Amino acid sequence: MRNFNEHTITDAVLARVGGAGDPRVREISEALVRHLHAFVREVRPTQKEWEYGIDFLTRTGQMCDDKRQEFILLSDTLGVSMLVDAINHPVPEGATETTVLGPFFVQAAPEKQVGDDISGGMKGDPLLVTGSVSADDGRPLAGAVIDVWHSDEDGYYDVQQLDKIGDLSMRARFHADADGRFHFWSIKPAAYPIPHDGPVGDMLEAQGRHPWRPAHVHFMISAPGFEQLVTHVFVAGDKYLDSDVVFGVKDSLIREFLQRSPGRAPDGRTAEQPYFYLHYDFGLKHDARRGMAA
Amino acid sequence: MRNFNEHTITDAVLARVGGAGDPRVREISEALVRHLHAFVREVRPTQKEWEYGIDFLTRTGQMCDDKRQEFILLSDTLGVSMLVDAINHPVPEGATETTVLGPFFVQAAPEKQVGDDISGGMKGDPLLVTGSVSADDGRPLAGAVIDVWHSDEDGYYDVQQLDKIGDLSMRARFHADADGRFHFWSIKPAAYPIPHDGPVGDMLEAQGRHPWRPAHVHFMISAPGFEQLVTHVFVAGDKYLDSDVVFGVKDSLIREFLQRSPGRAPDGRTAEQPYFYLHYDFGLKHDARRGMAA
């Protein structure tokens, strides 16, 4: 095999990757080659544009460290993350819709007790969050594991300012009570631009796009026998709900963050100052793989 | 714009990138989104496979430094580099065919005089290279700038072993003489595996592919008013000519590296030991952009 030209090289590469032992590797490799070559054949990059592409991808990889994942940002801003999410999470009646994980999830979040304040002393409007976790058939899921994380009032996550604040905050792991319920105090999150001082920011600027996400609280919820739920709850009225830079907003995930006066709060605590209040009932989807094995 | 699903998200992203001010940015962004989403929609990656993809690209970027360009290797091994080359370099009668630049080109190669030995004392079979540079209409190109680089007898380039050898070698920049001719001494290069201790090596292994390139000498040749020529001359008889891992071989670029006995060499020098001899006549293509401006 030699003497390839624009019209013969794709079949040559397909023949080569067709030797993959694992059928899934073969399937993905062949599709990658077909779509990648079709893209190149359509846009007909100059040598300089190809070099720019190589450099862009290199800088994207080199921007990544333990606190920054630029390739996830690229996937998010090109709508790929939400597409993969949609493919993997058809949502049955009674189950909560999903959205992107985002780049700020931390595997080892601090374990907290239901009712705790997780703001870590960050300043901002107090926020009470109450919620429940049920199966898609309505049965409460006692002991469900709830990871929660959100930004501060300026739109920054703890991991973006560890140098300044010293420790993880506005982030916790809870276990739902016997009725599948949980609640906690924190501060109200803000809309924020995704980190845009790297290659993804350059891309957004060239595409004439803003880098903002509407304010939201992240939830990741797990219970044995159910698919892990990765989602947000968005703040109703946010001006970026219709132009989320990562295409993550769904109407079913928007809630009013209600303003409440000082006094007795829904969790029985007495609030000394005005606060915001969010309630959300989450529904988890039975794990189809387990269902089939049963 | 919200509530995107598998079927609606692509149009939403296209609408967003359609706001790019520069028409070429818009064209490339739209094509990227269409082809990338089509790839994802076809292979339907699991969340774990998507994570693997993110990690693969991240590791590919992080493998790059001033001596290693893993994204060029990825482009080369997926046939993209040769496709981009074919698109940009249709070859008219009288002009030399092109092939990949590869990852071992160095901008600041040592300037040498025609006739010099560029082996830098590396051991191997002596090699005399003679050549000429002409326009595609046959006119010799006096003063053409010729960059040349090749591997040692074990298949390694200078930049892969700078710690050991201390300086660039088997690499030089020449200026063709008044008749467009040049010659130099070096050592005969060997077939070699591309660096395969990184993500690209993992990919090749998963695809059941070897990482080898047939032995060759790289040439990059420039003259005012002509397109820069980037090519190799391959060693006839090499066992990897039909399975070059980067799809770079063309019959017109293969030459016998002739074995010669000691004695008077074609450049007039007396060889004390047996040596190999390569001759190649290069043809440069008129720069169409200049042609149109004239």
Average pLDDT, chain B: 94
Pull the structure tokens for residue A36: 């990648």
Structure tokens at A271: 């609030």
| Sequence-ordered strand ranges (E) for chain B | 126-135, 145-150, 171-175, 181-187, 192-193, 212-213, 216-222, 229-235, 254-255, 258-260, 263-264, 270-271, 275-284
Task: Inform me whether the pLDDT recorded for B11 exceeds 90.
Answer: yes
Residue the block writes with tokens 């065919």: B97
The phi and psi torsions of A238 (rounded to 5 degrees) equal: -60, 140
Question: Is ipTM beyond 0.85?
Answer: yes
- The CA–CA distances, whole Å, from B249 to A132, A270, B231 equal 63, 78, 10
* Residue B140 β-bridge partners: B134
- Say what the pLDDT of residue B293 is: 38
A150-164, A202-216, B26-40: least confident range:
A150-164
> Could you tell me the CA-to-CA distances from B162 to B152, B158, B159, B193 in Å, in that order?
13, 6, 5, 18
Phi, psi of B201 (to 5 degrees): -60, -40
Structural domain B73-293, CATH architecture: Sandwich (2.60)
State phi, psi for A205 to the nearest 5 degrees. -65, -45
pLDDT computed for residue A166 by the predictor: 87
pLDDT exceeds cutoff 60 at A93: yes
Distance, in Å, from the CA atom of A90 to the CA atom of B213, rounded to the nearest integer, reads: 46
d(CA B86, CA B218): 17
Positive or negative CA dihedral for B12, B17, B18, B19?
positive
A10·B36 Cβ contact <8 A: no
Nearest CA-CA partner of B217 in B229, B233, B198: B233
pLDDT band at A103 (very low <50, low <70, confident <90, very high): confident
| Residue in B closest to A204 by C-alpha | B17
The per-residue pLDDT for A289 is 67
Q: Answer whether residue A275 shows pLDDT above 80.
A: yes
Classify residue B155 by its DSSP letter.
S
**Dihedral sign from CA coordinates of B291, A53, A26, B244:** positive
Say if residues A183 and A131 touch (Cβ distance below 8 Å): yes
Question: For residue A40, is pLDDT > 90?
Answer: yes
- B32 closest CB neighbour out of A39, A44, A208: A39
What residues of chain A, 248 to 287, have a C-beta less than 8 Å from chain B? 249-251
Q: Are strands A254-255 and A229-235 parallel, antiparallel or unpaired?
A: parallel
Within an 8 Å CB–CB cutoff, is residue A205 touching chain B? no
Q: Does B98 touch chain A (CB under 8 A)?
A: no
Residue A66: per-residue pLDDT? 81
Write the DSSP symbol of residue A142.
T
Q: Which B residues, 75 through 94, put their C-beta within 8 Å of a C-beta on chain A?
A: 75, 78-88
Q: Where residue A92 falls among pLDDT bands split at 50, 70, 90?
A: confident
Distance CA B167, CA B143 (A): 26
Residues of chain B with pLDDT > 70, as a percent, come to 98
Min Cα–Cα distance to chain B from A240, Å:
10
Mutation target vs A (from B11, B78, B100; most A CBs, 10 A cutoff): B78
- Tell me if B57 and A54 make a contact (CB, 8 A cut-off): no
Residue A132 has pLDDT above 70, yes or no: yes
Contacts of A4 in chain B (CB under 8 A): 79, 82, 86, 247, 250
Q: Where in chain B is the domain with CATH 2.60.130.10?
A: 73-293
Closest C-alpha to A1, from B93, B245, B200: B245
Q: A294 pLDDT band (50/70/90 cuts)?
A: very low
Look up residue A149 and give its amino acid. W
Planar angle of CA B121, B122, B124, nearest 5 degrees: 120
* B71/A59 CB distance under 8 A: no
Q: Under CATH, which architecture does the A71-293 domain have? A: Sandwich (2.60)
Task: Please check whether residue A131 is in contact with residue A279, taking contact to mean a CB–CB distance below 8 angstroms.
Answer: yes
Predicted confidence band of residue B290 (pLDDT cuts 50, 70, 90): low
Alpha helices by DSSP H, listed for chain B, are 9-17, 23-43, 47-62, 70-77, 80-88, 162-165, 199-206, 288-293
CA distances from B264 to A66, B62, B184, B260, B268 (A): 63, 51, 15, 10, 6
Give CATH 2.60.130.10 domain extents, chain A: 71-293
What pLDDT shows up at residue B292?
A: 44
Q: How far apart are CA A54 and CA A90, in angstroms?
A: 35
For residue A51, give every residue at least 6 positions away whose Cβ sits within 8 Å of its Cβ, in sequence order, or none: none
Tokens of A241: 């709900």
- The pLDDT, as a whole number, for residue A176 is 98
CB–CB of A45 and B28 under 8 A? yes
In this structure, the strands spanning A171-175 and A145-150 are antiparallel
A250: which chain B residues are within 8 Å (Cβ-Cβ)? 2-4
Give the helix ranges, DSSP H, for chain A.
9-17, 23-43, 47-62, 70-77, 80-88, 162-165, 199-206, 288-293
* Inter-chain CB proximity A3 and B80 less than 8 Å: no
Q: State residue B91's pLDDT score.
A: 87
Structure-token pair, residue B33? 């989104």
Mean pLDDT of chain A: 94
- The two tokens of residue A230 are 């990765």
Mean pLDDT of B207-215: 97
pLDDT at A287 over 90: no
> What is the SS3 string spanning A34-83?
HHHHHHHHHHCCCHHHHHHHHHHHHHHHHCCECCECHHHHHHHHCCHHHH
Helix (H, G, I), strand (E, B) or coil at A294: coil
* CA proximity to B250, closest of B231, B266, B223: B231
- pLDDT per residue as tens digits for the range A220-234: 999 999 999 999 999
pTM of the model: 0.90
pLDDT classification of A290: cutoffs 50, 70, 90: low
A178/B contact by beta carbon, under 8 A: no
Beta bridge partners of A230: A220
The rounded distance, in Å, linking the Cα atoms of A245 and A79 is: 9
Closest C-alpha to B9, from A291, A244, A223, A197: A244
Task: Evaluate the CA torsion angle B96, B275, B270, B120 in order and state its sign.
Answer: positive
Q: pLDDT digits over B97-147, tens only?
A: 999 998 899 988 999 999 999 999 999 999 999 999 999 899 999 999 999
* pLDDT of the residue at A291: 46
Contact state of A58 with B43 under an 8 Å Cβ cutoff: no
- Residue B294, pLDDT score: 34
What is the C-alpha separation between A68 and B58, in angstroms, rounded? 11
Kind of pairing, strands B216-222 and B145-150? antiparallel
**For the residues B268-272, what does the mean pLDDT come to?**
93
Structure confidence at residue B289 (pLDDT): 67
Question: How does DSSP classify residue B117?
Answer: B
For B39, which of A35, A72, A208 is closest by C-beta distance?
A: A35
